[in-house]
Structure 1
Amino acid sequence: MNAKVIVLTKFFRSNVGGADLETFLLVKNVLSKHFNTIVVSGTKRLEPNVPKSVSYIYWSVLETKYKPIEWLKLIAELNTLRSLLEKADIIYIPSQDLMPLAILMKAIKPSIRIILHLHNYQLLTFSSIVLAGRQPDVATDVLVEYGEHRNLLRGILAGYGHYLNYIYRLIPLYADKIICVSRKQCSILQRYLPSLRDKTVIIYNLPPPLPNINKKINQEPVLIYAGGGSYIKGYHLFLQILPRVLSKTKCRVYGTFGQEVSRREWAFLERLSRNFHGKFIPLNRMPREKYLKLHETAWGLLFPSICEEPLPYTIVESMLIGTIPIAANVGGVSEIVKGTPAEGYLFKPWNIDGIVERVSVLSSQSREDVIHAGIKLREYISKLFNREKIEQEIIKLFEYTISK
């Protein structure tokens, strides 16, 4: 009889990127085929492409948005946790907000096996972010929260949240295994939490599914910026480099933006587009398929992130499609692009001159050279993110943890 694995995830959906997409792919393509899998999530509607072998439980508590409130609600739901544990051999927690449950679950059932999947730095900071060149301290949390939301009160509360978040530093003591998604992420976590060394294993995320994209790059350079209005994705840097890039090169730049951009900000972006005669095209939030279609004609992807990215799906997608990432050398980015043409387009984080210089270099290349570089990127990243290899690593980890 197959072991019973319960997946505790705040969201369970495939029409997104990052950690949520990885969780969905892992359940659909790996866990459902090898284990008796039960997903517990705050997503109301289950997508039709989930295998029928997966049991699904909607838990309304997981819809709570603010972390401290959610923690209090979860503590109040001890009976629900007990009933879940009765059904489980192993608990898999990929959602940062739910990781404190590891402590409660071990207290209720000491024999339960727990695997955590870290997609960020929640063990170190309240915001789950580590900024490049900064310590993961209280100032980081205040800066990130204020930068992301432009709300002073949220910034102040994040300062208190930083110390409340210290409970996360206890969580590894209650986990059996901890998955990191890149060597860089693992080294940062172990630098501040040496106790992780005996429990961590590095497994890359499964490669994201991509539609058939007919790559036909334009004669003149086309760039994509996909960071929206996010401070940690370098939006403020993007606004500074954009006039220089558009005035000095023949590039056309697409920028994708979502709910985090206010009406006032959107009006500013439209004025910017008019000022540069349509060479900058701001786009509202769009389905993932439409975003990926932008890559058909793109030469490069602008990625001015200022945080230690664990393993950015945006870069992986770009390389799989054959679009050259012009990226900040943060987090796991360097180990993804090492030895490829994209390595030459890395720049130091926060360095505006470095970004503009790399864009100028790319725009000076011939169309044929860019196409050839894209082919090399696809070949390299397809080998690095070999689906079968990653799936086998996941299966072995779960089987080992259960049998230990």
Structure 2
Amino acid sequence: MRILVFSELFYPHGGGAELATWLYSKLLAKEGFKITVVTTRFPNEPQYELLDDKVEIFRVPMKMMFGTRYYTLANTSVLLGNFVNKLIKQSDIIYIPCGWYSVIPIAKIYRKPVVVHMHNYSIVCPTSLMYDFARHEVGSSSLKSFIIHEIVEKQRKAVSVAVSSLMNEFLGKHYNRLGSLADALIFVSHAQANLILSKAPHLKEKGHVIYNPIPEPPFIQAESKGIGYFGGKSFIKGFYVMIRALRYLRANNILVYLAMTSEKTQTVGSQREITINFLPKVNPADIMEKIAIVTIPSLCPEPSPYILIESMLYGKLIVASNLGGIPEIVTGVHHGVRLVKAGDYKEIADALNSFLALELEEVNEIALENRKFILQKFKNEETVKLFTSVLEKVL
């Protein structure tokens, strides 16, 4: 079976969606599928690459217009070119793991089945976050919410805010609906599926829930009871909630690592000997020895955050928002996870304090159980089997 993947970004670019696409590509190729990926070409990258001698990657130059959300729409000419059209003709299935929905009408012209993988909420929410910035609650966004989103989350200037907000309001709602033309939709958690289907119940017959494949990071024993956060300065990821929570820590001599919060490493100390390290983007593995606890204080209902799964596989204790797909992932964990109300910085601090009160040896023992839990609950073989069954249904 020949699968043509259209992904705006491809690992190591991007985030969780791109990591999932990379893992799926390798796993499916291992099972004998012919995988071809079309993605954006960045400076100093080869136009063609063969991943693991099995996955073909074609990188095409794209003009970055209107921000990352709509630049694929602005580059529709790429899809109309002879090369990409030839790839579409030769494929059996078109697979769209993110939001390159402008591919769908062209695929339909050639009568190719389309599978869209929902790693966010873009099909029912133009910001893709399913968070109302005006009301500070989970839900669809108004124009006012779009404007706040661009100012607070994207930190854009006035002109950019006006243009982007209007595009979200008038273009985004219609462009994202192209995703509903797919023959199948894959959701990454039941929580995500339920939220999307509550807004678009007509998509129920096309929907399938398949948990993302898991990576294979090693167990890394903590050498100290440090605290890690990997959400950057994002309001929606809970950065400011995290900063407030740190003020209520009772323990002393605590090291805190906040990734993607500074262009270069900056260290700030406090009167209570809590040292905060503001870090650039880092490979989580590089600081896992220094931390015992990972916090995920998201305000939006993240469908299935990879940092949660990766951190548990590394062997870390978790403090996370009781929201989105997070509870679904950790249901059944006994002691190594604390779920808290989203936005409640005092509850986050209490959860952190309860873990910090443990001896380091006990911390590592409980964290090892976290790793075993993920390895037992999520099996890549089962994931590939379920994914393959969806492909067979649309053929």
Checking the alignment, whether the CA contact within 8 Å between 2:316 and 2:367 is kept in structure 1 is: yes
Q: Distance in 1 between matches of 2:272 and 2:80?
A: 58
- Total equivalences in the alignment: 383
Shift of 1:47: 9.1
Deviates more, 1:370-379 or 1:130-139: 130-139
Does the alignment pair 1:150 with 2:146? no
As a proportion of its length, which structure holds more strand? 2
> What secondary structure is seen at the aligned counterpart in 2 of 1:299?
strand
- Pair 1:165-2:179 in alignment: no
Q: Which amino acid aligns with 1:395?
A: T
Contact 1:304 1:349 in 2 (8 A): yes
CA offsets 1:195-219 (integer angstroms, 9 cap, x no match): 1100111111111231x3441443x
Residue 341 of structure 1 aligns to a residue whose secondary structure is: coil
| Contact 1:304/1:350 (8 A) holds in 2 | yes
Q: Aligned to 1:253, which of 241, 244, 256?
A: 256
AA of the residue aligned to 1:124: V
Deviations 1:209-247 (A, max 9, x none): 31x3441443xx2111111212211111122222332x6
Shift of 1:249: 4.6
Q: Could you report, residue by residue, the CA deviation over 1:291-319 in whole angstroms, capped at 9, with x for unpaired residues? A: 21422242211111111101000000111
Matched, 1:282 2:278: yes
Aligned counterpart, 2:351: 358
**More displaced, 313-322 or 160-169?**
160-169
2:232 maps to 228
Shift of 1:372: 2.8
Q: 2:141 aligns with which of 132, 137, 141?
A: 137
Q: Distance in 1 between matches of 2:123 and 2:289?
A: 38
Structure 2 CA distance, aligned partners of 1:378 and 1:66?
35
- Report the Cα distance in structure 2 between the residues aligned to 1:300 and 1:189, rounded to whole angstroms: 31
Give the superposition deviation at 1:167: 1.6
Stretch deviating more after TM superposition (149-158 or 40-49): 40-49
Tell me the residue number matched to 1:303.
Answer: 296
Please provide the CA RMSD for this pair. Answer: 2.6
Q: Counterpart of 1:177?
A: 184
Amino acid of the structure 1 residue aligned with 2:75: K
**Partner Cα distance (2:278, 2:377) in 1:** 33
In structure 1, what is the Cα distance between the partners aligned to 2:336 and 2:221?
A: 21
**Any idea what SS the aligned residue of 1:345 has?**
strand
Question: Which one-letter code corresponds to 1:149 in the other structure?
Answer: K
| Map 1:380-391 → 2, pairs under 5 A | 380-391=373-384
**C-alpha displacement of 1:63:** 5.7
- Spell out the pairing of 1:334-345 with structure 2 (5 A cutoff): 334-341=327-334, 345=338
SS of the residue corresponding to residue 308 of structure 1 reads: coil
* Counterpart residue identity of residue 342, structure 2: P
Structure showing the higher helix proportion among its residues: 1
Q: TM-score, normalised by structure 1?
A: 0.86
Query: What's the CA shift for 1:84?
Result: 3.2
- Tell me the equivalent position of 1:321: 314
Cα distance in 2 for partners of 1:273, 1:49 equals 47
**CA offset digits 1:121-159 (Å, max 9, x no partner):** 111222211227332122443333222222253443343
Query: Within 5 Å, which residues of 2 pair with 1:3-82?
Result: 3-14=1-12, 17-31=15-29, 33-43=31-41, 44-45=45-46, 50-61=51-62, 65-74=67-76, 77-80=79-82, 82=85
SS in 2 for 1:142: helix
Asked whether the 8 Å contact 1:42–1:63 carries over to 2, the reply is no
More displaced 10-residue stretch of structure 1: 225-234 or 336-345: 336-345
Could you say which residue in structure 2 is the equivalent of 1:122?
122
Structure 1 stretch 69-78 or stretch 366-375: which is displaced more? 69-78
Q: How has the CA–CA distance of structure 1 residues 46 and 334 changed in structure 2, closer, same or farther, with 3 Å as cutoff?
A: farther
Question: What is the letter of the counterpart of residue 247 of structure 2?
Answer: P
1:215 to 212, 217, 221: 221
**How many Å apart are 1:388 and its aligned residue?**
1.3
* Residue of structure 2 in register with 1:95 after alignment: 98
Are 2:190 and 2:325, in contact at CA under 8 Å, matched by a contact in 1?
yes
Q: Deviations over 1:162-194 (max 9, x none)?
A: 331112453244211111101111111001011
Task: Provide closer, same or farther for how the CA distance between residues 69 and 63 of structure 1 changes in structure 2, counting only shifts above 3 A.
Answer: closer
**1:188 aligned residue:** 195
Tell me what 1:292 maps to. 285
Return 5+ residue gaps in structure 2 as ranges: none
Question: How much has 1:59 moved relative to structure 2?
Answer: 1.7
Structure 1: 5+ residue stretches without partners: none
Q: Which amino acid aligns with 1:156?
A: A
Aligned partners of 1:375, 1:182: CA distance in 2, in Å?
24
Q: Is the 8 A contact 2:252 2:272 kept in 1?
A: no
User: What is the rounded CA distance, in whole Å, between the counterparts of 1:341 and 1:390 in structure 2?
Assistant: 24
**Alpha-carbon distance in structure 1 between the residues aligned to 2:48 and 2:180:** 35
Mapped to 2, the partners of 1:76 and 1:58 lie a distance apart of 11
Q: How far 1:342 sits from its partner (Å)?
A: 5.5
2:198 and 2:150 map into 1 onto residues whose CA distance is 24
Aligned-partner SS, 2:386: helix
Residue 384 to residue 63, structure 1, CA distance change in 2 (3 Å): farther
Residue 253 of structure 1 and its aligned partner are, at CA, apart by: 1.1
Q: Quick one: distance in 2 between partners of 1:297 and 1:53? A: 37
Partner Cα separation in structure 1 for residue 102 and residue 174 of structure 2: 8
